[in-house]
Amino acid sequence: METEGKNRKERLGDIILERSFQYREDPPFVLASGKTSFYYFNCKPTTLDPEGMNLIGHILFDMLRESDITAAGGLTLGADPLANALSVISFQRGKPLKSFIVRKESKDHGTRGKVEGNVKAGEKVAVLDDVITTGASTISAIEGARAAGLEVERVIALIDREEGGRKNIEALVPRVDAVFTRTELMALREKKG
């Protein structure tokens, strides 16, 4: 069954809380940043799920449809399903946005490129990420995209953990958004019981 607008975001929040959110105190989770936390968002069970991908694609498209951005992508692996979901939905909705991948390391063969996809220098793009904590992986994606000549106009994260990463990214790009903040997801979790 197709959901729309606010209902899409609420349904996506439900899926994230059901499949991608974990809480534990002993031992706490160790994050990619090296910090520890009592809660953890593993977005892959949501971003690789058919319904999750569909909802994400629609939500990201709604966030970008009025922009002059021609492509979206980010650091592999977190951004890949987001970018691909957006690309498919954007085509279906009549304004195709390409997806691209920023490798963590340049290839040691072939073109030796760090960016993969049908994008060219000078294109205006959005960098996507599944979770922002410190912003390090997003910043790496921004740097890789810029090194390939892409103009990074915007960053969109599925979840902003609200731990300083957004501020770090805002120093590099004009606009940073999140589909959800940690505060929003915790409020939804409390509301749902």
Ordered structural domains, the chain, with CATH? 49-181 (3.40.50.2020)
Those residues with Cβ within 8 angstroms of residue 124's Cβ, 6 or more apart along the chain or in another chain: 67, 68, 69, 70, 150, 151, 153
Mean per-residue pLDDT for 42-51?
A: 97
This prediction's pTM = 0.93
Q: What's the rounded Cα separation, in Å, for the pair 64 and 56?
A: 12
**Does the pLDDT of residue 112 top 80, yes or no?**
no
Q: Are strands 98-102 and 36-37 parallel, antiparallel or unpaired?
A: unpaired
What is the per-residue pLDDT for 1? 44
pLDDT in tens, 143-191: 999 999 999 999 999 999 999 999 999 999 999 999 999 999 999 999 9
What is the distance between the terminal CA atoms of the chain, rounded to a whole angstrom?
24
